[in-house]
Amino acid sequence: MFKKAYVEITNICNLSCDFCHGTKRTPHRLTAAEFNCIMQKLKGHTEYVYLHILGEPLNGDILDFLRQFFGSDRHKNRDGFSNRTPSEALCRRCGFAERFSL
């Protein structure tokens, strides 16, 4: 069993930062079906799943994507995967979460 697994949900970015190596791969954002397939394959094989991005996380509909996966319970989906992050706590503290229904 792995301690953690990283799932790259997008490699699309609207910038070209000096510190980022970028990618030559075709720009792609995981579909909900692709993401669910990956999560099913990881189930029982890892303790933690980290959503990794090479691109810009707020590019596109990432919040809708996460809502679709986690449904009404933003902390645990139907397969038991948890969604607790330090960033979420900070978003709640500054009011960002309420503004965007996180």
C-alpha span between 15 and 41 (Å, rounded): 32
Query: What's the chain's Rg over C-alpha atoms?
Result: 15
85 pLDDT band, cuts 50/70/90, is low
98 pLDDT band, cuts 50/70/90, is low
Task: Show me where the domains of the chain are located.
Answer: 2-12+25-99
- CB-CB contact of 84 with 49 (8 Å): no
Q: What is the pTM of this model?
A: 0.62
C-alpha span between 76 and 78 (Å, rounded): 7
